[in-house]
């Protein structure tokens, strides 16, 4: 009955479902959100910074209403915080956030690892992320090591095979990058995990889920403790 349901399979339009999203044009608010998201995740807007509506609308040449739609989008992604009648600020991650984030990661990532079988599939993205991290480390680009690390763990989570879970993990990854931007010694934080991630990947490829899970848990506990120490210290 309805054109968008399942009738396409029968005719010549078979297998085009995956191309649907490429066809979707984005609204102005979404494009604005994309720009701001990039600026936040790459550290141009530091956590705590206020984004004043008038300034941004002038700089981007858009109307205030459109910008507010973009703000709301990013607030929903936890990259911005709206304080009513005071404005929007780049999110500042607290210690309780870190605790919750790592609790979520332990649940999500361990559950995902537990689904891998003897003949693991879909490890290409993880492999790519680990290689990128190692390459960035050789260049001394430790912030890029951080983003590659995030990508690696998103790839691990993706083994669970749920888009909804992946989306949550993507949001968590963005929050983590927010913390990274507040750190001074990025090398000291990221360097130990290069080999840890590589080992986890090898174990997964060998189909040794339980041991991979053990290493992953150790990594998560260690990283959580390091982040908490960082957040408690300079406060």
Partner DNA sequence: ACGTAGGCATTGTTGAACAATCCCACAAGA
Partner DNA sequence: TCTTGTGGGATTGTTCAACAATGCCTACGT
Where on the chain is the footprint of its own copies (CB under 8 A)? 5-6, 24-25, 27, 29, 65, 68-69, 72-73, 76, 84, 100-101, 103-104, 107-108, 110-112, 115, 160-165, 168, 171-172, 235
Binding of residue 15 to DNA (CB under 7 A): no
Q: How far apart are CA 175 and CA 192, in angstroms?
A: 21
Contact of residue 52 among its own copies, DNA, none (CB under 5-8 Å per partner type): DNA
Contact code string over 72-111 relative to DNA, x by CB under 7 A: ----------x-xxxxx-----------------------
Q: CB 228: neighbour CB atoms within 10 A?
A: 14
What's the token pair of residue 34? Answer: 């994309």
Q: How far is the CB of 105 from its own copies (least distance, A)?
A: 9
Task: Pick what 182 binds: DNA, its own copies, none; C-beta below 5 to 8 Å, kind-dependent.
Answer: none
The DSSP element (H or E) to which 88 belongs, if any, is: strand 87-90
Query: Segment 30-69, which members bind DNA (CB under 7 A)?
Result: 50-54, 61-66, 68
5 binds, among its own copies, DNA, none (CB under 5 to 8 A by kind): its own copies
* DSSP state string for 103-122: HHHHHHHHHHHTT--SS---
Nearer to DNA, 21 or 54 (CB): 54
Q: Smallest distance from the beta carbon of 90 to its own copies, in angstroms?
A: 14
Q: Which stretch binds DNA (CB under 7 A): 23-31, 73-81, 148-156, 186-194?
A: 23-31
CA angle, residues 165, 155, 207, in degrees to nearest 5: 105
Strand 80-83's sheet: what is its strand order?
A: 50-51, 87-90, 80-83
CB 118 within 8 A of CB 207: yes
Instruction: Give Rg (Cα) of the chain.
Output: 20
């Amino acid at each position: 009955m309805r054109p968008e349901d399942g009738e396409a399979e029968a005719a010549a339009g078979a297998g085009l479902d995956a191309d649907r999203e490429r066809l979707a044009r984005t609204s102005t608010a979404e494009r604005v959100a994309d720009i701001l998201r990039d600026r936040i995740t790459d550290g141009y807007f530091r956590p705590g910074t206020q984004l004043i509506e008038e300034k941004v609308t002038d700089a981007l040449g858009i109307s205030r209403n459109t910008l507010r739609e973009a703000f709301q989008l990013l607030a929903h992604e936890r990259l911005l915080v709206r304080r009513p009648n005071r404005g929007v600020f780049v999110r500042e991650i607290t210690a309780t956030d870190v605790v919750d984030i790592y609790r979520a990661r332990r649940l999500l990532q361990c559950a995902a690892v537990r689904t891998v079988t003897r003949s693991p599939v879909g490890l290409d993205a993880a492999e790519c992320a680990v290689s990128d991290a190692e390459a960035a480390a050789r260049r001394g680009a430790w912030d890029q090591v951080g983003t590659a690390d995030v990508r690696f763990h998103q790839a691990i989570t993706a083994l669970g095979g749920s888009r909804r879970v992946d989306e949550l993990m993507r949001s968590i990854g963005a929050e983590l990058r927010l913390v990274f931007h507040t750190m001074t010694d990025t090398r000291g934080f990221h360097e130990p995990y290069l080999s840890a991630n590589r080992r986890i990947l090898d174990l997964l490829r060998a189909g040794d889920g339980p041991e991979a899970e053990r290493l992953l848990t150790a990594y998560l506990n260690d990283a959580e403790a390091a982040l908490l120490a960082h957040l408690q210290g300079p406060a």
